């Protein structure tokens, strides 16, 4: 599985506008809803917020991987967002989050869902790549960085 099979430049937000958890999740979810007719933004955000109540998906070091499962979805969906100022996200290290990968999966896709989470986690362990993602000028460059890593992890 390649992340670039799930992610496109259109699902990347180079500078998130939101300043809190809910608004960031709405922004990240909205690009997926735009690409997936039948997905409801309010329902999706509620699913993501319910998942966050179980424990923050802010894993530390300025990174969050919010995720959730949706009924009647036929494939995995991924969006990416970045904010230069950082957003409080109740991360494990209590630091603001700058890089977000949102993963939405069909309800019955545990294996694919876990593989995608693992792939995203490996990508975000690369400190040079994280630095490049934070400094990239636009979404096309962000996509290119992810694509190059995806081909040669």
Q: Which of 2, 67, 98, 113 is catalytic?
A: 67
User: Quick one: tokens of 51?
Assistant: 């998942």
Distance CA(13)–CA(114), nearest Å, equals 24
Find residue 80's DSSP bridge partners: 12, 101
Contact 91, 60 (CB under 8 A): yes
Query: 72 catalytic, yes or no?
Result: no
Find residue 147's DSSP bridge partners: none
**Which residues form the catalytic set?**
67
């Amino acid at each position: 599985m390649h992340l670039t099979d799930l992610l496109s430049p259109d699902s990347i937000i180079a500078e998130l506008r939101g300043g809190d958890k809910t608004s960031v999740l709405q922004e990240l979810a909205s690009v997926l809803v735009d690409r997936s007719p039948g997905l409801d933004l309010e329902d999706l955000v509620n699913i993501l917020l319910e998942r966050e109540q179980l424990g923050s998906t802010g894993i530390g070091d300025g990174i969050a991987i919010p995720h959730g499962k949706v009924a009647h979805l036929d494939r995995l969906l991924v969006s990416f967002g970045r904010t230069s100022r950082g957003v409080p996200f109740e991360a494990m290290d209590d630091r603001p989050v700058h890089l977000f990968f949102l993963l939405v999966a069909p309800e019955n896709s545990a294996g694919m869902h876990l593989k995608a989470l693992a792939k995203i986690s490996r990508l975000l362990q690369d400190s040079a790549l994280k630095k490049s993602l934070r400094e990239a000028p636009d979404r096309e460059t962000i996509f290119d960085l992810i694509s190059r890593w995806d081909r040669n992890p």
